[in-house]
Structure 1
Amino acid sequence: MTNVLILGGTGWLSGRVARRWLEEGAAVTCLARGARPAPDGAELVVADRAEPDAYAAVAEREWDEIVDISSRAEHVAAAVEALGARTKHWTFVSTISVYTDASTVGADESASTAEPAEPGDEYDYSREKAAAEASVRSTLGDRAAIVRAGLIVGPGDPTDRFGYWVSRFALAGEEPVLVPAAERLMVQVIDVDDLAAYLVDVGRGRWSGTANATGDPLPFTEFLELARRAGGHTGELVRADPEWLAAHEVDHWMGPRSLPLWLPADMPGFTTRSNAVYRSTGGALRPVNETLARTLGDERARGLDRERAAGLSRADELALIAEPAG
């Protein structure tokens, strides 16, 4: 039987990876703080990765696969030191945010990455992931896969970014929806379940290398139309220029009072990364409209008019629409 250790295993992505391994017949152990349960059938080892003895309960066992998604370089470094010699393969989930150049369209895994964080540095997500990658490579070498995930989307997404649009179109119905004037911008996403399946596949095959795990670039306007159809929206699209939105304190990309997935025009490379390695190593990508439909079901269950982690409230949106947009 395949013995798999998930460092995490109780969160959104890591929980799906754990369940996928269980479906494959593996014996799965999840090492986590215990705030949430492990998937049915998995063993939960409660531990705090900030503590020096975090891996004591699993350090004497032999593993076929270890999966880590941490964005804390010190946690990853400690894990590979404690467990690296005990596993046949290690999969580290990194991010396309490690890249420093957001202007070059179609850049692949050879593009320059952030300077790895040093102990004591102020937290920086990109640099932490870069340092974590370096720890995995230096200890595991050709026993490791570095999977740089793009924007992960789908049911259960705690960031509320992707789901904002299909949810808002469904909520608005025949009423207007505010959208950015973004004719040249792109969207690039990966369904959480496609990513989970890929992480299991590279672990099972013990693939070694680095891959951008992300979808095909899609024009932002086309994405909005797909989301609009999925949500059944028949109202007006009120397009606002970036300058007008900035003047009205509407943010890019994420967070409260934002228009999610909308990026500045000088960042075309961020949403056009090459996914050729992912494709050539068996990575699958379901149609975006399928992910939108799955996401809308989840959004309806959670409440279309709920307070969100990303996006405009409906009241704020309508107030902006009532003003003349530039």
Structure 2
Amino acid sequence: MTNVLILGGTGWLSGRVAGRWLEEGAAVTCVARGARPAPDGAELVIADRAEPDAYAAVADREWDEIVDISSRAEHVAAAVEALGARTKHWTYVSTISVYADATMAGADESCPLAEPAEPGDEYDYSREKVAAEASARSAVGDRAAIVRAGLIVGPGDPTDRFGYWVSRFALAGKEPVLVPEAAGLMVQVIDVDDLAAYIVAVGRGRWSGTANATGDPIPFTEFVQLARRTAAHTGELVAADPDWLAAHEVNHWMGPRSLPLWLPADMPGHSTRTNAVYRSTGGALRPVSETLARTLDDERARGLDRERQSGLTRAEELALIADLTG
């Protein structure tokens, strides 16, 4: 039987990875703080990765595969030191945010990375991931797969970015929806279940290397239209100039009072990374329209008018539309 250790295994992505390995017939152990349950059939080892003895309960076992998704470089460094010699293969889930340059369209895995985080630095997500990648490579070497995930989307997304659009169109119905003027901007995402399947596949095959695990770039305007059709929205699209939106304190990308997935014009390469390695190593991509439909079902179940982590409230949006058109 394949013995798999998931450092995590109770969160959105890591829980799906654990579940996929269980479906493969593996014996799965999850190391997590215990705030959430592990998937049925997995062993849960409760530990805090900030503690020096975090891996004591699993460090004397032999593993076929270890999966880590942490964005804390010190946690990854401690894990590979404690466990790197005990596994046949290690998969570290990184991010396409590790790259230093977001201006080059179609860039591949060889592009320069951001400076790695150093102990004591103020937390920076991309720099932490760069340092974590380096730890995995140095300790596990040719037994490591570095999976640089793109924007992960789909049912259960805790960030509320991708789901904002299909949810908002469904909520608005026949009423107007505010969109940014976004000519030339792109969207690039990967369904959480496609990514989980790939993480399991590279572990099963013990592939070593680095891959941008992300979907094909699509124009932002095309994505908005796909979301609109999925939600059967029939109201008006009210397009706002980026400078007008900035003046009215509407943010890019994510978070409160934002238009999610909308990027500044000076980041044309961010959502255009090549996924050729991902595809050539067996990575699958379902149509974005399918992910939107799955996401809409999830959004309806959670409540279209619920409080969100990202996006405009409907009241904020209607006030902006009134200001723009009045």
Q: Could you say which TM-score interval applies, normalised by the shorter chain?
A: over 0.9
Identify the residue that residue 165 of structure 1 maps to in structure 2: 165
Residues 146-204 of structure 1: CA distance to partner in whole angstroms, max 9, x if unpaired? 00000000000000000000000000000000000002100000000000000000000
Aligned mates of 1:109, 1:157 — CA distance in 2: 26
Identify the residue that residue 212 of structure 2 maps to in structure 1: 212
Q: Which amino acid aligns with 1:284?
A: A
Q: Which amino acid aligns with 2:183?
A: E
Aligned mates of 1:243, 1:286 — CA distance in 2: 35
Query: Unpaired segments of 5 or more residues in structure 2?
Result: none
Q: Which amino acid aligns with 1:43?
A: E
Query: Unpaired segments of 5 or more residues in structure 1?
Result: none
Q: Which amino acid aligns with 2:278?
A: Y
Counterparts in 2 of 1:127-276, with a 5 A limit? 127-276=127-276
The offset of 1:324, in angstroms, is 2.4
Residues 201-242 of structure 1: CA distance to partner in whole angstroms, max 9, x if unpaired? 000000000000000000000000000000110000000000
Pair 1:90 & 2:99 matched: no
Q: Which amino acid aligns with 2:123?
A: Y
Counterparts in 2 of 1:15-94, with a 5 A limit? 15-94=15-94
CA contact (8 A) 2:240 2:324 kept: no
Aligned mates of 1:263, 1:210 — CA distance in 2: 26
Matched residue of 2:270: which SS? helix
The offset of 1:325, in angstroms, is 5.6
Identify the residue that residue 100 of structure 2 maps to in structure 1: 100
Residues 116-155 of structure 1: CA distance to partner in whole angstroms, max 9, x if unpaired? 1111111111110000000000010000000000000000
Q: Which amino acid aligns with 2:285?
A: L
Residues 96-132 of structure 1: CA distance to partner in whole angstroms, max 9, x if unpaired? 0000100000000000001111111111111100000
The offset of 1:323, in angstroms, is 1.1
Matched residue of 1:19: which SS? helix
Aligned mates of 1:316, 1:121 — CA distance in 2: 36
Q: Which amino acid aligns with 2:231?
A: G
Matched residue of 1:184: which SS? coil
Residues 246-302 of structure 1: CA distance to partner in whole angstroms, max 9, x if unpaired? 000000000000000000111110000000000000000000000000000000000
Counterparts in 2 of 1:285-296, with a 5 A limit? 285-296=285-296
Provide TM-score, normalisation by structure 1. Answer: 0.99
Aligned mates of 1:270, 1:160 — CA distance in 2: 19
CA contact (8 A) 1:239 1:325 kept: no
Matched residue of 1:45: which SS? strand
Pair 1:280 & 2:280 matched: yes
Identify the residue that residue 313 of structure 2 maps to in structure 1: 313
Identity across aligned pairs (percent)? 87
Pair 1:3 & 2:8 matched: no
